[in-house]
Amino acid sequence: MRRRGAVSVDWMLVAAALLLSMYGVAIVYSAGQTDIPTFVTRIWRQQVLWFGLGLVGAFAVSRASIRLLEWVAIPLYVGTLLVLSYLLFFGGGSGTAEGTKSWIVIGGMKLGQPSELAKITVILMLGKVLAASKSPPKSLLDLWKPALVVGIPWMLIIGQPDLGTGIVFLGIFFAMLFWSGISWRLLLLLASPIVSLILGGVTQLWGSWFLLMLALVIWYKPYPWEGAVFVVANVFTGVVAQLIWDRLRPYQRARLLTFLDPSADPRRAGYQVIQSQVAIGSGGWFGKGYTDGTQKRLSFLPAQHTDFIFSVVGEELGFLGVTVALALFVVFFLRVVRVAERASDSFSSLVAFGLLSCWFTHVVVNVGMTLNLTPITGIPLPFFSYGGSFMLSTWIGIGIIIRIAHEGRGGRHASGMV
Amino acid sequence: MNFHPNDVVRRAQVTVYVGTGLVLVLLIAFFRAQIMGYREWVLKSETNRLREVPVAAPRGTIFDRNGKIIAENVVGYTVSVLAQSEDSLRSTLARVGAKVPLSQTQLNQSVRRYRSAPNRPTQIFGDASFEVVSVLEEHRVDFPSLIIQSGPKRHYPNGPAVAPFVGYTGDVTEGELAEARYAQYRAGQIVGKVGLEKEYEDRLHGREGSRFVEVDARGRVVREEGAQERKALQADSLLTNIDLDLQLHTAKLFGDSLVGGAVAMDPNTGAVLALYSAPSYDPNEFIGGVSFSYFEGLRNNPKRPLYNKAVQGAYPPGSTWKLATAILALQEEVITTESKMPQECTGFYYYGDRAWQCWEKAGHGKLTLLGAIAKSCNVYFYQLGLKLGLSRLVAGGVQLGFSKTTDIDLPEETRSRFPDRLAYFNERYGPRGWTQGAAALNMAIGQGDNAQTVVNMARFYSALATDGTAARPTIVHRRPERTRIMNLTSDQMRDLRAAMAGVTAEGGTAASAALTGVVLAGKTGTAQTSALVPGKKACDDAWFVGFAPADNPKIVVSVVLECGGHGYLAARVASEMIGKFLGVKPVLRILTEGDDN
């Protein structure tokens, strides 16, 4: 018997998310178990509370039809832009990012970080825009709408400044373009200036990349002005930015880096990464035992309850714990890909894929950061890092995924009902 | 988008390959670090050679309204040790103790510091003298784990005179670290403990810098990476409303003999011009760790120097509260300023089964309200209190702000004691333990269950000095906040101020406190507190609250003197303070010694 309004649930997906959340809360608890107790010792209770709120939020959202979500996308998006602009003037900082303006602060109370929820509303809006056209964007000109949808909130968030969330937005943008069926050549051209920026330091590498780009431009045969835009952009990010950077004095560079990301104080960041690597490396196969990490206990680990929480996993539960965590993430991601693939319409499909890309960027950048593979930008790890807004927004996203799965192929006939 | 099923399936495949591939890369990286690099990293975790040595940030300078320095930073020396274990710390301390004097207290303190932050350098001397530093530098080779740093040290040029509002700093305690407010602090850091230093900690603390030193497995400093240091940043200065000249003068007035508190503020803006509590203490003694003997001396002093008598001490306001009774009666239109009471003052008022006394045994005769204020006639106010009734006195008193704090920017401020509702009396004395009439009689003359802080009386009188709006007292400069607490006509306000001017005129209760060329308006009070404070010597506390010039007030002053006896003594202090601020001299005449209340 099926109750009215009941929603079929992809139990495998929900089980993976639940296990990850419980794993995360257990690690937040452990992160607080230091020789000298600090406020971190008690925050696991708040995290449990937010987890509970997240479950309620996910349940509520899964009751809302996708058409309703599509309908509220525009007002939510406009509201998000208003809140983000408000933050630029009245926002507050917190933790390692004391100087930023990412928190809503009312009467001294830190209420939350709207940029977490902004990720979801931007995904909804971008999904709506991309789904509206029958065919995927074919040239730069076709891209102005999606670029604007992501670009405005992106600027507002970079202005906070919050480079980490900015990177996540880029990940979402490129992933959703890819999912909309854009030609891979155009995607590559779009991403090329960023690659140029990274390779700009080494002349030979950048030179080869630039030749490759030129070949691609000629082969792809875009409009002449379009090709020119790409070439100029690559030259700028690869050569001019590098020249400017070289001319800066060390303190100016540090200031620029600190401006882009306040937590990325080079010396301090280096210290953090070394401590994180020491903690993870000394974990071995099975780790030092739950709550018994020596680096963590002595508070050598920086931000061990937020950005560097995965170092605690590595130190205390070893390679085994890391593998289990990453495997759970993979299961979770594969289920979400499946949902996006089987969605009933293009909007739902794009939204599911957007959420996937958002979480995936978070996981790769955060986990990579603990081993010095990716830049330290202060991106939290979904399900693990302590933080109310983030836990809540993650579970609201899962609620949306559940709904999309329900309305998609195979959903309504599944056995489990909630 | 292109939503053809075949294309979607193809893209999903690409996604799965790319995604799984990236996660595999991460997993391989972990394998390399945790399995292949295990031995190397374990060794590093055991020695953890890079130590972060914090570089203290200079706290923000605190200025008075004219740019004179209240709190600054001078160069001081700290000596700390990078210890691997408690045992190695103890042995280092023993060896250091053989070269320079090191007390048992300092030794225990260092061990405590080490336990609370084992991975930071443990501070031995927070403020080392030049002799200690030179002896240790001389034996540098014997102490390889010792770190001698010069750094900013808090200094208060006018120590004891400013201590009552500026407070002092000290090591953050474990208790404080557990509070959310200090979430970003680490053991070993300095925080404001009292006064402005604590209230504005967020603005004053600056940003700690750090440098990194490499130590060997036994904690000996191998190399200092000086170039890589992260600069400490000084916090912005704090601009206060304090008039340092007036503050110093106030401290001098109290001298070594008087005990009590004083607050001077601008009635129009709430700017606190001076705030003093006597006896005071020297905040400089607390910097770098207070010595046991100095602290015990303060704690055992019966005059309680660490107790802030301007914002913490609550004293029955006595006759200074008669103005509140008068305002409530005028507001309720029970009387006018010219009204007389049925019974003239003969020195007594019979109510219930006892005779309630007026301080003037000979009696004041028939008085109007204004006359009764100038002479501080109890018999008049007994009758006025009965007319008004207890419930209106209580509700009105709450309305005038007597049951609240002033929200002055000092963390020590306590709430004044005042019954916030009639039920209070039943709770305190039991339903049969009191009568409305007797309570009203007491309350009308500022006795009974009513104890006010010095600063709260200053706030109340700032409303009398202006148009009936009370200013929130602020020590640090900011936008004034005013709240209307009374509704009287401007004529009534003028009459009340004239009556208060009569207090310091010939024949008033504080005639000796008059100023040359400026009219001082105010009210004396003598509070009988002996019964309230257990163990306190039976004596009367003296009050004076007033403002000047009476026609256009620029300053309101509230003074209490513990065991000051007559209110006029407090008035003399207040008048000297006002005279200093307005640049006029008090008329030093000892005239009819008004024996108040």
Highest mean pLDDT among B23-27, B36-40, B182-186: B23-27
Asked whether the beta carbons of B56 and B190 are under 8 A apart, the reply is: yes
What is the average per-residue pLDDT within A182-203?
A: 77
Which of B103-112, B198-207, B359-368, B522-531 shows the lowest mean pLDDT across its residues? Answer: B522-531
Indicate left, alpha or beta for A307 from its phi (over 0: left) and psi (-120 to 50: alpha): alpha
Tokens of B177: 């670290």
CB atoms within 10 A of CB B132: 20
Give the span between the Cα atoms of B107 and B306, in whole angstroms: 26
Give the span between the Cα atoms of B550 and B554, in whole angstroms: 9
Q: What pLDDT score was predicted for residue B571?
A: 87
**Nearest-neighbour CA in chain A from B8: distance (Å):** 6
Question: Can you tell me whether residue A268 is helix, strand or coil?
Answer: helix
Inter-chain CB proximity A322 and B30 less than 8 Å: yes
Inter-chain CB proximity A281 and B37 less than 8 Å: yes
Q: How would residue A332 be classed by pLDDT, with cut points 50, 70 and 90? A: very high
Residues of chain B contacting A298 with CB distance shorter than 8 Å: 118-119
Nearest neighbour of B11 by CB, restricted to A178, A294, A334: A178
Interhelix angle for B390-399 vs B436-444, to 10°? Answer: 40
Which of B88-102, B168-182, B472-486, B576-590 shows the lowest mean pLDDT across its residues? Answer: B576-590
**Nearest-neighbour CA in chain B from A3: distance (Å):** 31
Residue B45 forms contact with A (CB below 8 Å): yes
Inter-chain CB proximity B33 and A281 less than 8 Å: yes
Residue B538 forms contact with A (CB below 8 Å): no
β-pair partners for B233: B207
Inter-chain CB proximity B119 and A341 less than 8 Å: no
* ipTM of the complex in this document: 0.86
How confident is the model over A93-109, as pLDDT tens digits? Answer: 554 444 556 676 665 55
How confident is the model over B98-133, as pLDDT tens digits? Answer: 888 888 888 888 888 888 777 778 888 888 888 888
Asked whether the beta carbons of B575 and B515 are under 8 A apart, the reply is: yes
Tokens of B26: 């991460």
Highest mean pLDDT among B164-173, B334-343, B584-593: B164-173
Whether B534 shows a pLDDT value over 70: the answer reads: no
Q: How would residue B89 be classed by pLDDT, with cut points 50, 70 and 90? A: confident
H or E segment and range at residue B230: strand B221-230
Residue B23 forms contact with A (CB below 8 Å): yes
- Break chain B down into helix, strand, coil percent, rounded to 5: 40, 20, 40
Token pair 């040595």: residue = B53
Contacting B residues, span 145-204, partner chain A, CB-CB under 8 Å: 174, 177-180, 183-184, 186-187
**Nearest-neighbour CA in chain A from B290: distance (Å):** 24
Inter-chain CB proximity B34 and A346 less than 8 Å: no
Contacting B residues, span 225-244, partner chain A, CB-CB under 8 Å: 228-230
Nearest neighbour of B119 by CB, restricted to A98, A300, A368: A300
Residues of chain A contacting B180 with CB distance shorter than 8 Å: 39
Q: What pLDDT score was predicted for residue B273?
A: 95
Q: What pLDDT score was predicted for residue B597?
A: 38
Residue B48 forms contact with A (CB below 8 Å): yes
Q: What pLDDT score was predicted for residue B596?
A: 36
Give the span between the Cα atoms of A344 and A237, in whole angstroms: 41
Q: How would residue A417 be classed by pLDDT, with cut points 50, 70 and 90? A: very low
Name which of B16, B23, B34, B51 to mutate to probe chain A: the one with the most chain A Cβ atoms within 10 A of its Cβ.
B34
Residues of chain B contacting A336 with CB distance shorter than 8 Å: none
Inter-chain CB proximity A265 and B34 less than 8 Å: no
Which of A335-344, B346-355, B504-513 shows the lowest mean pLDDT across its residues? Answer: B504-513
Inter-chain CB proximity B26 and A323 less than 8 Å: no
Inter-chain CB proximity B16 and A337 less than 8 Å: yes
Q: What percent of chain B has pLDDT over 70?
A: 92
Residues of chain A contacting B199 with CB distance shorter than 8 Å: none
Which one is predicted more confidently, A324 or B5?
A324
Question: Can you tell me whether residue B52 is helix, strand or coil?
Answer: strand
H or E segment and range at residue B227: strand B221-230
Compute the mean pLDDT over every residue in chain A, rounded to the nearest whole number: 81
Give the span between the Cα atoms of B301 and B259, in whole angstroms: 12
Inter-chain CB proximity A181 and B52 less than 8 Å: no
Which of A64-68, B292-296, B516-520 shows the lowest mean pLDDT across its residues? Answer: B516-520
Compute the mean pLDDT over every residue in chain B, rounded to the nearest whole number: 85
Complete DSSP assignment for B290-306: --HHHHHHHHH-TT-TT
User: What's the sign of the alpha-carbon dihedral B336, B342, B348, B351?
Assistant: negative
Whether B507 shows a pLDDT value over 90: the answer reads: no
Which one is predicted more confidently, A225 or B14?
B14
Q: How many CB pairs under 8 A join A and B?
A: 145
First to last CA, chain B: 91
Inter-chain CB proximity B27 and A334 less than 8 Å: no
How confident is the model over A349-401, as pLDDT tens digits? Answer: 999 999 999 999 999 999 998 888 877 777 889 999 988 888 999 999 999 99
Give the span between the Cα atoms of B419 and A157, in whole angstroms: 52
Give the span between the Cα atoms of A371 and A310, in whole angstroms: 10
* Closest-approach residue (CA) in chain B for A352: B12
Residues of chain A contacting B23 with CB distance shorter than 8 Å: 326, 329-330, 363-364
Nearest neighbour of B3 by CB, restricted to A98, A346, A373: A346
What is the value of pTM for the model shown? 0.62
Inter-chain CB proximity B12 and A278 less than 8 Å: no
Inter-chain CB proximity B26 and A294 less than 8 Å: no
Q: What percent of chain A has pLDDT over 70?
A: 81
Indicate left, alpha or beta for A95 from its phi (over 0: left) and psi (-120 to 50: alpha): left
Highest mean pLDDT among A95-109, A317-331, B165-179, B217-231: A317-331
**Nearest-neighbour CA in chain A from B229: distance (Å):** 8
Token pair 């004053």: residue = B204
Residues of chain A contacting B27 with CB distance shorter than 8 Å: 322-323, 326
Inter-chain CB proximity A278 and B31 less than 8 Å: no
- Break chain A down into helix, strand, coil percent, rounded to 5: 70, 5, 25
Residue B44 forms contact with A (CB below 8 Å): yes
Which one is predicted more confidently, B188 or A267?
B188
Question: Can you tell me whether residue A79 is helix, strand or coil?
Answer: helix
How confident is the model over A147-167, as pLDDT tens digits? Answer: 889 999 988 888 777 778 888
Give the span between the Cα atoms of A249 and A330, in whole angstroms: 44
Q: What pLDDT score was predicted for residue B62?
A: 94
In 3D space, the residue among A233, A125, A131 whose CA is nearest the CA of residue A188 turns out to be A233
Inter-chain CB proximity A341 and B8 less than 8 Å: yes
Asked whether the beta carbons of B110 and B93 are under 8 A apart, the reply is: yes
Residues of chain A contacting B8 with CB distance shorter than 8 Å: 341, 349
Inter-chain CB proximity A284 and B20 less than 8 Å: no
Nearest neighbour of A36 by CB, restricted to B2, B12, B187: B187
Tokens of B273: 């011009």
Chain centroid to Cα A355, Å, comes to 9
Complete DSSP assignment for A307-355: TTHHHHHHHHHHHHHHHHHHHHHHHHHHHHHHHHHT-SSHHHHHHHHHH
Nearest neighbour of A278 by CB, restricted to B23, B44, B184: B44
Inter-chain CB proximity A319 and B30 less than 8 Å: yes
Q: Are strands B62-63 and B69-81 parallel, antiparallel or unpaired?
A: antiparallel
* Closest-approach residue (CA) in chain B for A265: B230
Question: Can you tell me whether residue B337 is helix, strand or coil?
Answer: coil
Tokens of B93: 């301390």
**Nearest-neighbour CA in chain A from B376: distance (Å):** 45
